[in-house]
Chain A
Amino acid sequence: MPKVLIPTPLRQFTAKQDTVSVPGATVGEVLGALTALYPDLRKHIFTDEGKVRSFVNVYLNDEDIRYLSKDSTAAQESDTISLVPSIAGGSTTTAPPEAAADPAALSNDEILRYSRHLILPEVGIEGQRKLKAAKVLLVGAGGLGAPLGLYLAAAGVGRIGLVDFDVVDATNLQRQVIHFTSDVGRKKLDSAAEKMLAINPYLKVVKYETALSSESALEILKDYDLVVDGTDNFPTRYLVNDACVLLGKPNVYGSIFRFEGQATVFAYQGGPCYRCLYPEPPPPGLVPSCAEGGVLGILPGTIGLIQATEAVKLILGIGEPLVGRLLLYDALGMRFRELKLRKNPECPVCGEHPTITRLIDYYQFCGVPAPNAAAQETRVNEGEIDVTEVKAKMDRGEDFVLLDVREPHEYKIAAIAGSRLIPLGEVPKRLGELDPKADIVVHCKSGMRSAKACGILRQAGFERVRNMKGGILAWSDSVDRGVPKY
């Protein structure tokens, strides 16, 4: 029978025994049997409603059952169950009066400001106070984060956490409307927080200047009621998803690509999660980023505001949340479609027998180098060549092929003189146009697609193939400023 270790102060209720063996197939059953055997113990572990008290954590061996299957976690004969208290505190003298003064109370100025909400019976004073008490974490202050930040601030969400480590770049201005031309070069966090506070000074913005990582995610997320995912990469998307599932926080998801977008709410009260939809990430390089593939500037506005709408609905508890439904938006056809999403019982993180019970290395999982490791890796890779070296080869009049694997419309925006265009997708069937013995340097916009092309060429027996590091962007930076960046 599974063993339950009894903390010292509770042994007065278990006839002084420090270990009690009781039958049960799950942790819930074992605890039920234990408190049936020693009824006086019950109120020390469970509330009157039968819920485990807030200060009690239940561990199966070395694992908190919250991260396993909670009450239904299977208990084996040899397992040991421990009751571990949850303890914190502090001398904070300012916190109690604040709490006592009801932080969600609305001043007269706020009542005027939110008047159009207050006269909606579905919102009203009570709803507006819920918004004021709400804590929302925005991961990313970019394309999706821009409309989200502006509208959630205006709507009266009381506390918004922003996670971002980027600076505003001129190429952001076409869609990230929270950043102005004069903000180029500033931290996105500072630029976004300034606009949000200008819209609503009652807002509290908490800035996290970091790339969300497996080490920091749970600490940051745990203080928020819900998380809005505005990330642009797979490792962070899986990280946000898993952290939300582990912490039981809804994940308001959105993603954009070229003219199409998606949105849904993951990990909401037993609903499906991102891994139920995509158990595995796509192979690295298969799905281009916005920087590689382009994006209609207005698109993140549409998708971000769908996310903002869902966030506000969840906070207010009104309407039908976008749970178990993936909303697909096609801007060119101007159509919305809906796909049914089901929770996968085999899901490794939210399924019945989760195998992921803590955060993992998401860069490794997605097969992409971690941001800081990337620089190092390219330096040691002999298959790469620096833009300045390519320029030197040209100047020396060396005989080599500069192969551009971008799309024709990109070639029209900017091209390196003397380069030869074969778009990545056509490379496999046009290998015959290239001499397998030639010295070939491959480039694209930033180096991702050309790296794939190098792989294709090497596999086909080409021996002297190198990838031009940083692509045409690096060329523009270091060789010829006359070549426009896009």
Chain B
Amino acid sequence: MIRIETEPWSAMVAHARQIYPDECCGAMLGIAENGSKTVSAALPLENAFAGPRAARYELRPEDLLAAEKAARSRSLDLIGIYHSHPDCDAYFSQTDLKNSCPWYSFVVLSIRNGEFHHANSWLPNIEQTEAAGEELIY
């Protein structure tokens, strides 16, 4: 189960709407205990994908390293990654899966016509062959 507090949640939705029609991406910082995660801060990051960004995103490892450092400095942990799917369902695509990392929760926000529509959280496996749905509360 992953719970996103109101403040980071609003920031994530605002980020996704702002970057629409491109995909946005960012890091989620918070605390993970006994399988239950709480996100208390969202860190918008740049979509570094080289081509058209309407249907792709890429995170720079340097930015993730900085996010990890930012988390440590606030006594939080990097516990998840979020990105948006403009005018598309909040599913975990093959592209998402093949470029994922099993260490984190992946929250996908569906944005339709520039407005938030729905969201899901996913937990990819280590072989990057499938992702299980994770209960998402916001």
Contact = CB atoms under 8 A, between A and B. Distances in A.
Interface stretch (B1-9, B10-18, B59-67): B59-67
A82 B72 contact: no
A219 to B, nearest CB: 4
A89 B77 contact: no
Nearest to B77: A8
Contacts of A220: 50
B130 to A, nearest CB: 13
B103 A10 contact: yes
Given A8-B78, A95-B95, A89 B56 contact: yes
Interface in B46-81: 49-50, 55-59, 61-62, 64-65, 68, 71-72, 77-79, 81
B58 A88 contact: yes
Given A90-B49, A90-B95, A85 B55 contact: no
Nearest to B79: A8
Given A95-B94, A99-B94, A8 B58 contact: no
| Main SS at interface, chain A | mixed
Given A18-B72, A43-B126, A44-B126, A91 B65 contact: no
Contact of B68 (A5, A56, A96): A5
B61 A92 contact: no
B88 interface: yes
Nearest to B87: A91
Contact of B65 (A9, A84, A90, A219): A84
B116 interface: no
A383 to B, nearest CB: 42
Given A9-B32, A57-B61, A87 B72 contact: no
B68 A7 contact: yes
B128 interface: yes
B19 interface: no
Contacts of A9: 32, 79, 102-104
A89 B96 contact: yes
Contacts of A92: 55-56, 93, 95
25 contacts: A5-B72, A7-B68, A8-B32, A8-B71, A8-B78, A55-B99, A55-B101, A59-B61, A82-B68, A84-B61, A84-B65, A85-B64, A85-B104, A86-B59, A86-B61, A86-B99, A87-B101, A88-B58, A88-B95, A88-B99, A89-B57, A89-B100, A90-B23, A92-B56, A93-B55
A89 B61 contact: no
B101 A85 contact: yes
Interface string A254-285: 00000000000000000000000000000000
A7 B103 contact: yes
Contacts of A439: none
Given A5-B68, A9-B32, A90 B101 contact: no
A87 B94 CA distance: 13
B59 A88 contact: yes
Most buried by B among A88, A220, A222: A88
Nearest to B81: A87
A88 B126 CA distance: 15
A29 interface: no
A57 B65 CA distance: 10
B44 interface: no
A478 B33 CA distance: 77
A91 B93 CA distance: 6
What is the interface residue range for chain B against chain A?
35 or more
Interface string B80-120: 01010110110001111101111110100000000000000
B79 A89 contact: no
Contacts of B102: 9, 44, 55
Contacts of B106: 89
A87 B95 contact: no
Given A57-B61, A64-B61, A84-B68, A90 B56 contact: yes
Contacts of A219: 50
Contacts of B101: 55-56, 85-87
B58 to A, nearest CB: 4
Interface string A73-102: 000000000101111111111011001000
* Residue of A57, A59, A89, A99 with most chain B CB atoms under a 10 A cut-off: A89
B70 to A, nearest CB: 13
A62 interface: yes
Interface in A201-225: 219-220, 222-223
A233 B107 CA distance: 47
Contacts of A87: 58-59, 64, 81, 99-101, 104
Interface in A370-390: none
A-B CB proximity, top 7 nearest: A89-B96, A90-B56, A85-B101, A8-B77, A96-B94, A88-B99, A91-B85
B83 A89 contact: yes
A19 B128 CA distance: 27
Given A84-B64, A89-B96, A90-B56, A55 B128 contact: yes
Given A84-B64, A95-B95, 17 more contacts: A7-B78, A7-B103, A44-B126, A86-B61, A87-B101, A87-B104, A89-B56, A89-B57, A89-B93, A91-B55, A91-B88, A92-B56, A93-B93, A95-B94, A96-B94, A219-B50, A223-B50
Interface string A181-207: 000000000000000000000000000
Contacts of B83: 89-90
Candidate in A8, A43, A44 with the most chain B CB atoms within 10 angstroms: A8
Contacts of B57: 88-90
Nearest to A18: B72
